[in-house]
Amino acid sequence: MEYVCLDLEGVLIPEIWSEVAKFTGEDKFNLTTQDIKDYSELMDMRIGLVEAMDISISDIQAVVHKIEPFEGAREFMDWARDNFQVTIVSDSFYQLAWPLIRKLGTPSIICHHLKIEEDKLKGYSLRQKENKKRVVQALKALKYRVFAAGDSYNDIQMLTEADLGVFFQAPEHIKNEFPKINCVENYVELKKVFSNASEFVALS
């Protein structure tokens, strides 16, 4: 049996913090894991900006509620869940991601937690170190073959640990840095890659 692990932001939905950038006018919120390899550095910058600009969690959640999944994302999720076991493995946070998970049909998600006090962002708590890699390792230990898709630096460990890992609409600089990882540009291509890999296993 195959198990599919999908990144959330950049694969199924727009980048949440880029939408916060539009709301606040602060361009630094546009920086993502496609730009900064160190996730802690990225999150520390975001938290610092939120504090300096006195942005509340309610403000951010209001932005999130207006976000819609990419065109075709819900249909892709329905197809994936009809053909595989599926989990979204994300470096987002439950307090931000959950409204968007509902819009995707409420698939399972493994991600992190924000630390919030009186509607203010005070920090974050990781599910575990190297979460994406360890989720794939755990599934493989349960005798699943794991297919994975992501678009950023923080997905590399998940993609290389999986039995099949592919970039989904990754930027050119990341694709050039990791040329051994195959790339797809849309959900039709991603369906084909996953289906072909599954059929090959069935026939072997």
Catalytic residues: 7, 9
CB crowding 176-195: b at 16 or more within 10 Å, else e: eebeebebbeebeebbebbe
- Do strands 145-150 and 164-168 pair parallel, antiparallel, or not at all (unpaired)? parallel
Give CA torsion, residues 191, 192, 193, 194, to 10 deg: 50
Picking from 50, 93, 69, 60, the residue whose alpha carbon sits closest to that of residue 10 is 69
Asked if 66 contacts 32 with a C-beta cutoff of 8 angstroms, the reply is: no
CA distance 7 to 85: 15
